[in-house]
Structure 1
Amino acid sequence: MDKVSPEVKKRWGLALKKLRDERNLTQAALGRRLGLKGTVISNLECGVTKPSKTLLRQLDQTLETGGELERLWKSMTDDGQLPWLGRIAELEQEALSILEFQPLLIPSLLQTESYAEAVMRAVTPWESDSLIQESLRERMERARRFQSNSAPIMVVVLGAAALDNLIGNHAVMAEQIKQLYSLASEERITLQVLTCNRHPGLVGSFKVIAPSSGPEVVYADSAIRGQFLDTQAEVGQFKLRFGRLQAMAQPPDQSLVLLEEKIEGFE
């Protein structure tokens, strides 16, 4: 793809910085080994510029990574294989509506900071603290932007397990569910809790995004990375799946009662 989002460049730059730091090299020292100025390395690590194919190979060879940086860049920029925080942030910000199903976790746009950090540390315990904090900052910016605006419209079907899974501790869960209750009771979102075990959402979490311009797209999560689906047939299938999940879930008013019960249980 020609256009690379700022999130992609920043996250790849953080990976470069981590590898450089592990080898006790300054930006200037690494630049000298490559015949470049230290400012070139600084711009790469800060996400100001993107690496060329030649520079990717040179960086891997100089840092002796076994091709790690080149593989990471490819996985983050290949069409259809975009990173979790790449284009998704841009689409969410410009969307007219979002239909989201989450079976195990609170949707990222609705998370509190303490809940989001606990999720990140549980899911990627090997990540450096600096990378987790950078990812957390990006997620909270997205969440605050969404929660402080009246658009996009968001409809959420949430698996009951997301309310039962103890993420962090009881205080973290109580705070998170209170925020969810506030957003739903004030009608910033429409929330329905799914209490049955057999349903069309067993394929995993997904969201259907209707942009302000252009066709609807589906963003489906996986264990490795998120994937965009944009053919009419694929989007139609996921919209049917979401409609079925809504029909099987508790209505919004009853879902609020369930949230109240969960808050009491965690306090």
Structure 2
Amino acid sequence: MANPGRFTARKLDPSLSARALYGAELRYYRERGGLTLGELAEKLHIELSFLARIEQGERRFDPELAAALDELLDTGGFFTRNISAGRSAPNPDRLTPLADWERLAATIKEWDAALVPGLLQTDAYAAAVADTYAPLLSDRPTRYRWEARLSRTPVLHDPHGPRYLVVLGETALRRVLGSPATMAEQLHGIATLVRRQRITVRVLPLGATPHPTGTDGALRLMTYADETPTLHFTTHDTGTHYTDPGAVNLAHLTHDLLCAAALPPDASLALVEAAALGFRAQAPEAEAEAGREHARPLPGGAYDPAGDPPPGRDRRYSPHD
């Protein structure tokens, strides 16, 4: 069962969606009645984790549960009257930031031929990406994006977070962004997550031919317990959401074919770690120390992957969401 602590510490933003508002109202009425999540779940004879996910807007309401809550919490019929909101799917284009969709996901599948994806990026690598791909942007939006990355909850370090599978082009391991120290730190962080069994990484060798639909940009596929799967497709200057079944199915096929052409997980990890050692050997000690200052260490030597700029705010910068 999921740890309820990860739900109770964070208040839901009711502006995210109709269902988010519904979940926020559930919390309001529960707290007004002086009940903890555990106490309310016991009275309703349901799992604590299920109730917590409803309160966070992650699961749909059943009409029977709505009626029971109206009676138990004396809501004046609020939940029954607004059951359509409680069962609605949030619109991915209106969720801000993109991290909210990532946090809700059951699985996340990614492909990037040229860069380490945003969910895996260390602070120093993310800064190098920004310097490389957006050198002409003003300081203000650059700072905004940087702060957004640092404020993101690292979903890949959450033991209850989504299952994550990424296919990386070998170019992403070989291309130096920032410095050799930056690259060594970045690849070490990826290897640490793999060894903790939080993520699966497969590397597409330079000699392999990617599926044609995977050469135009990076893709992120997110699936949910009871929602429509979402595809987030990015190029160097745009990022677009899709929920159309045809686009999502094509992306699934593309990712499956890329996995088939990529190295197995063990060989991929060995390649990542070998590349990290190679970069570390190139990095002077002073440079390596400077690189470490950019990263936020986590217990066990891992580094916190940085996140993405919120959709709708300067979407010219996307490498790579």
1:126-154 CA deviation, whole Å, 9 max, x = no partner?
Answer: 22333222212212333624324431110
Change (3 A) 1:145 1:237: closer
Alignment of 1:30-49 (within 5 A): none
| AA in 2 matched with 1:142 | R
- Alignment partner, residue 100 of structure 2: 90
1:169 aligned onto 2:182: no
Query: What is the alpha-carbon distance in structure 2 between the residues aligned to residue 113 and residue 87 of structure 1?
Result: 18
Alignment of 1:204-215 (within 5 A): 204-215=217-228
Aligned twin of 2:142: 132
Measured after TM superposition, the shift of residue 166 of structure 1 is: 0.4
Q: Secondary structure at the match of 2:136?
A: coil
Amino acid at match of 1:185: R
Choose which of 240, 243, 258 in structure 2 pairs with 1:230.
Answer: 243
Distance 1:225 1:87 in 2: 16
Matched, 1:122 2:132: yes
Task: Answer 1 or 2: which has greater helix percent.
Answer: 1
After superposition, residues 71-82 of structure 1 pair within 5 angstroms as none
Partners of 1:104 and 1:218 in 2: how far apart? Answer: 19
Counterparts of 1:146 and 1:131 in 2: how far apart (Å)?
26
Q: Is the contact made by 2:105 and 2:223 (CA closer than 8 Å) also made in structure 1?
A: yes
For 1:128 and 1:4, the matched residues in 2 are separated by 29
Gaps of 5+ in 2: 1-13, 17-90, 281-321
Shift of 1:217: 1.2
- What is the RMSD computed on CA atoms of the aligned residues? 2.3
SS state at 1:203 partner: coil
Runs of 4+ in 1 over 4 A off after TM superposition: 80-83
The TM-score, its normalising length taken from structure 1, stands at: 0.66
What is the CA–CA distance in structure 2 between the aligned matches of 1:245 and 1:4, rounded to whole Å?
A: 37
- What is the CA–CA distance in structure 2 between the aligned matches of 1:182 and 1:166, rounded to whole Å? 20
Are 2:207 and 1:199 equivalent residues in the alignment?
A: no
Instruction: Give the gaps of 5 or more residues in structure 1.
Output: 6-79
SS at match of 2:152: helix
- Choose between structure 1 and 2 for higher RCO, CA contacts under 8 A separated by at least 6 residues: 2
Partner of 1:227, secondary structure, is: strand
Alpha-carbon distance in 1 for matches of 2:244, 2:133 = 31
Match of 1:188 among 193, 198, 216: 198
**For residue 172 of structure 2, what is the amino acid of its counterpart?**
A
Total equivalences in the alignment: 190
Corresponding residue of 1:253 = 266
Deviations 1:115-134 (A, max 9, x none): 10110121111223332222
In structure 2, the partner of 1:110 is: 120
Asked whether the equivalents of residues 184 and 276 of structure 2 are also in contact (C-alpha less than 8 Å), the reply is: yes
